[in-house]
Structure 1
C-alpha cells in the first residue's frame, strides 16, 4: 500500500535537516508521498522538489500559525497558490512577527543573564556554523522558538530542548512573548480562497490558555468554512485521543489524516511513524486548484 506522510519540517523552519535531506529520509523510511509543511512558508519546497526521484511525490504545503482565545491552533495547508495576494500578505506578516518575537525573546534572555546572541540563534536557524556569514539568508526563512531552545542548550542554560521550553520560553515562561497569528476560521477561508485544502494539525495538543484539545465548536466552524480533514493520527495522541478525533472527523464529514510531524533530529527522525490512507488523501486533495503535486521525472 502507498505510504503517505502529510506533516514534516525542514531547516527552512524548525526542522534540523535541509529540504533535500528530508526527501532523502522520506525515501529511506519507505514513503511514497511526503508533504513538506514548514511553519508559515513554502520556502523549502523548491529545494525539496529538485531532489524528488521517479516514483516519489512531494506535496507542497505549510503549517499555518493560528490562535484562538490565547491558545495556538495549527492548520496544515496543502496545494494552495503561495502568490495569492491576501494569503501571501498574511504569511509575510506572520513571518516578520515570528522573527521579531524571537529577537525580543533573545533580548529578554540576555537581560536574565543568559549568554546568548541573536547571531548564534540565526546561525542555528539556518544551519550555519558559529561566525557564519548570513548575507544569503532568504526572506522566506523562519526563526522560531525551537532555534532559541537549541541555542539555550548549546549555551548550557538548558539540559535539552524541552527543558529550554519548560524553563525559559514556553507559555508563561520568563522569556515568553506572544505573537501574531490568524483566526483559525479565517485561515481556512484564506487557504480555500488560494485554491488549497487543509487539515487541522494535532487537535488534542493545545498550547497557551487552552492546554487541552482544540474546542469542538471551533472545529465545527472551521469545517463550515471549508476545513477538509483532521490530523487524528499524530504521534502525540494516545489511543483514546486518536479514536475521539477520528469520531469527530466522521461526524463532520472530514477526512482523517495521519502524519509524523517530523522535525529531524529534534523528533528522532520519525518520518512515516503515522501515515494517511491513500483513499483519504485523494479525497482531501480533490478540491485543490492552487498548486500541483510534484512527482519525480519519468524519463
Structure 2
C-alpha cells in the first residue's frame, strides 16, 4: 500500500485504516507496554545504544562512533520495515473490510493523539494544584531541568510539546503511511524514537551521543521536514495565508529545522509567546499563555486531527464511488 493507492480503489483500505487507527486511539489510548511496538523499538535502541555510544569522559572516536550509530540505526530500521511489510503483505488477500480494520489496528501504535492530549491536560490540572505539582508533571513531557520554571514557563513548555508532538505523534506517521503504507509509518516511528533516545549533542544518562547519535538525528530531520510544514499549515487553517509569513519567520528561530514550524504556528495562531530560555522565543510580542490558552491550543490541535479523519473519510467514500 503506497501513495499510489490513492489513485485506485485500493485507497479504501488506506483511508479505512486511518479512520480505524484514529478511533482506536481516541477510545482506548495506548496498548499495554508489553504489546506496544514502539516500546519494543525503545528496548532495541537502549540495548544497541550502550554499544554504539561512548561513556562520558572517554576518548572520542568521531568516525567510529558515527558509523557504529549509523549501522545500529539501519539494522533496527531494516528489521522494523521488514516486519511491517510482512504484516501488510499477509493481509492483502483478506476481505477489504477485515483488511482495513486489521491494518488500522497495526497502525494505531504508530500514532498517539489521546495520550498527548491527556498529558497536556494533566499539566494544566497540576498547575491548578500548585506550581511544584505543575513542574513535576511537565517533567514527564520535556527533558530540560524544570526545578526553576515559573507557572508561565511550565505552561509554555507544555504547549510547545503539544505543538511539536502533534507532528511527531500524529501528522508525520500518517503522512508516511500515505507514502509507504505500514512500513512507512513504522519506519518513521522508529526514526523519531531513535532521535528522542540518541539525538543528543552531548552527554545523556552517562553516555556521550555527540557522534553516535548524529545519524539518527539527521534522518529524523529529513523524515519530519514535509510533515512539520503540513502540520503548521493545518494549525493555521483557515486563515493561513494572512499569518504564514510570521509562521515562517518564527520557525527559523529554533535550532531544530522542523520543531519551530508547528510551535510557531500555534504561537502565532493563538497570539501567545512560547519561550525556551536561552534557546528560542516564538512570537515574542505575544502575551503569556494562560490556562484558557492551553485549552485553546488543545482545541486547535484536535481540529487538525479531525481534519485528518475527515480527509480519510472523503477518500474512503470517493474510493467506494469508483468501485460502484
Larger helix proportion of the pair: 2
Q: Decide: shared fold, TM above 0.5.
A: no
Compute the TM-score of the two structures, normalised by the length of structure 1.
0.29
Larger radius of gyration, structure 1 or 2?
Answer: 2
Larger strand proportion of the pair: 1
Compute the TM-score of the two structures, normalised by the length of structure 2.
0.28
